[in-house]
Structure 1
Amino acid sequence: MKVAIIGGTGFVGVHLVRHLVAAGHTPRLLVRAGSDSKIALRSECELVYGQVADSSALNECLTGADAVIYLIGILREFPAQGITFEALQYQGVVDTIAAAQATGVNRFVLMSANGIHADGTAYQRTKYQAEQALKASGLRWTIFRPSVIFGDPQGRMEFCSQLKQDIIDSPLPAPLFYQGLSPLNAGSFELAPVSVEDVAAAFTLALTETRTESQTYSLCGAQRYSWKAILQTIAAASGKSKWMVPAPAFAIQTMAGLLDRYAWFPISRDQLQMLLEGNVCNENDGFARLGLTPTPFNAAQLRYL
């Protein structure tokens, strides 16, 4: 099967390319100029150069493909640089749907995100809107909603590597965020980290399993971990111990309101809000429905740190 991938040079994309090639598929990647060094298994892939906003490049990438996978997602937007949630997480999906319809590609697999909703942050809202556009497209769709994804970043941005860099390696104490006035439950909100290898396996399986069509799958790790436990696990995997202190969310949000326009500031207001909401699967256990067993999140799995 020839599979067009939009976002195939990113963190999830490089792992997915390897899974697809191992399964006998041919990935065709839309590659931005200057991103050649990010291509995994280059000799096994077909390449089309261009950006998602370029309709001619999109059409070329999808022409002759059997399916398309859309992976592009960003954690922060920088409008001055043209990097926005609206452009990359919503409009890019809409344009790729149009290209699929124009080129006769009827199978579309989308990477969304766990915990999204229509009235959430700009990140959550644009992911939700992209899902709705795909469901209304008439294409044979599957949507995956991963929680926070961990795994060997291979030089890219990844959840645990970013926390190690910004928090564990910092000389400052690690912040245990909390809302309200009482610090008693600081750092207790929960996440369910999921392995990038498991996410790639789910996408690969969906391409050949018709039972996954018109289905949405939440992808969470086997266990829930508090923010504090996640930081402790990352510290242990890094061979460090880390002093942790309660950090009132309102103070960080105030600082972010002034500074999150700058890339050097480690967290945006929206990112902090989504962290405090937690990110676990309360229902719709996607891995069980797919017949896959998720990889545990522990220090041994974080050896790449």
Structure 2
Amino acid sequence: MASVLLTGGSGFLGGHLLRELRAAGCEVRALSRRAESDATLSAAGAVPVRADLADAASLERALAGCEAVFHAAADTSVWKPQAMAQTATNVGGTITLLRAAESARVRAFVHTSSVSAFSHLVHDSLNESVPQRGAQSWINYERTKHLGEQAVRGSALPWIVFNPAHILGPGDRHNWSRLIAMVDREKLPGIPPGSGAFADVREVAAAQVRAWQQQRFGQAYLLGGEHASLVDFVHRVGAMLGRRTPARATPAWALMAYARVLDGWSRLSGREPAVTPEGATLTCHRLQVDSSRARRELGYRETPLEALLADTLAWMAGEGMLVSRPA
């Protein structure tokens, strides 16, 4: 039985990775810093281990005897006051984990990056040959995901990198589920004018484990899904929940102006605003992702958005996260 260290195991994608790894017969050691996470991870079949991405010695202890690392932990904040902590996690933490894995003679490093490593500055359809521009971005999340990925690519370890698009599915408590909850409560003030590629979290996790099993080392894979405008996305959610939604997108200039006002107030209150200039910029971007390489080499599947939303809403309803019942 292969032993694997998983970071981010109590998170959205990490929870699905944990299930896929256990189904593949792996012993999973999951990074944990709190007792609450211990209980969640243990219930899912993992062995919680006390370690921190900022503490090389703790990581080396956790990695002893492990065959592979699945690195899914990340700071996804798009609020400028969190930039220093985010850089420490996404860049510094990745580098520390890489060095610890090298010392422990781990034989594989499977890294969850993001389409954000390419940056909103790229307007073409993304494929693996498109140059990343994250290093040039003013958005710290994009920059740190790019730099973390580059550290992995420059490592002496056998690595595989994944760049998922907008991840959606059961288990989402903090990402697209926040927008869905606003639609459910008819509290959504407007719809951004951008578009996305919606990836099924279950397929993202399965593709990562499959790539490791096939030893696709030195390869990177974009993982997208059905493309839809955010107007279309919101209207579909509204129809499924029987809720009213804005008829059309808010102009980008108006959304940015609103975000700047909220950002100004947040500096006085110290509380993260509902919309930041960074978040507004990202949701105004029209993202296009080509997943053909992952489909061809890993059997990756793009779940139709209607079915993916139905599964997500059903899970949210079961968790008491929705006021209404999805149709």
TM-score bracket relative to the smaller structure:
0.7 to 0.9
Aligned partner of 1:169 among 178, 185, 193: 185
Contact 2:78 2:279 in 1 (8 A): no
What is the match of residue 224 of structure 1?
227
What is the match of residue 45 of structure 1?
46
What is the match of residue 133 of structure 1?
151
Cα distance change of structure 1 residues 274 and 96 upon mapping to structure 2, 3 Å threshold: same
What is the match of residue 300 of structure 1?
310
Runs (5+) with no aligned partner, structure 1:
178-186
Cα distance change of structure 1 residues 38 and 217 upon mapping to structure 2, 3 Å threshold: farther
Letter in 2 for 1:158: N
Q: Classify the secondary structure of the residue corresponding to 2:170.
A: coil
Render the CA deviation track for 1:52-104: whole Å, top value 9, x for unaligned: 21222211221111000111123315676787320111111111001101111
How far residue 194 of structure 1 moved from its aligned partner, in angstroms, is 0.5
How far residue 16 of structure 1 moved from its aligned partner, in angstroms, is 1.1
Contact 2:110 2:159 in 1 (8 A): yes
Contact 1:12 1:71 in 2 (8 A): yes
Letter in 2 for 1:150: L
- Hey, what's the Cα distance between the residues in 1 that align with 2:245 and 2:39? 33
- Hey, what's the Cα distance between the residues in 2 that align with 1:258 and 1:268? 9
Contact 2:262 2:275 in 1 (8 A): no
State the identity as a percent: 27
- Hey, what's the Cα distance between the residues in 2 that align with 1:235 and 1:191? 18
TM-score (norm: length of structure 1):
0.86
- Hey, what's the Cα distance between the residues in 1 that align with 2:51 and 2:158? 25
Q: Classify the secondary structure of the residue corresponding to 2:152.
A: helix
What is the match of residue 288 of structure 2?
280
TM-score (norm: length of structure 2):
0.81
More helix per residue: 2
Correspondence 1:124 to 2:120? no
Cα distance change of structure 1 residues 64 and 272 upon mapping to structure 2, 3 Å threshold: same
Contact 1:33 1:50 in 2 (8 A): no
The CA RMSD over aligned residues, in Å, is 2.4
User: For this pair of structures, how many residues does the alignment match?
Assistant: 290
Render the CA deviation track for 1:83-134: whole Å, top value 9, x for unaligned: 7320111111111001101111131011011142221221111111111111
1:152-191 alignment runs, 5 A limit: 152-153=170-171, 156-159=173-176, 161-173=177-189, 175-177=190-192, 187=193, 189-191=194-196
- Hey, what's the Cα distance between the residues in 1 that align with 2:55 and 2:83? 14
Q: Classify the secondary structure of the residue corresponding to 2:303.
A: coil
Render the CA deviation track for 1:38-62: whole Å, top value 9, x for unaligned: 6245373222113221222211221
- Hey, what's the Cα distance between the residues in 2 that align with 1:79 and 1:250? 20
Contact 1:114 1:280 in 2 (8 A): no
How far residue 32 of structure 1 moved from its aligned partner, in angstroms, is 1.1
Aligned partner of 2:256 among 240, 246, 253: 253
